[in-house]
Amino acid sequence: MTIPIITGISKIINDYDLFILDLWGVIHNGVQAYPKALNCLKQLHHLLEKK
Q: How confident is the model over 15-26, as pLDDT tens digits?
A: 988 888 888 889
User: Which candidate, 51, 48, 1, 50, places its Cα nearest to that of 21?
Assistant: 48
Question: Across the chain, what does the average pLDDT equal?
Answer: 89
> Which pTM was predicted?
0.67
Contacts of 9 (CB under 8 A, 6+ apart): 19, 44, 47
3-class SS at 10? Answer: helix
The band of 32, judged by pLDDT with boundaries at 50, 70 and 90, is very high
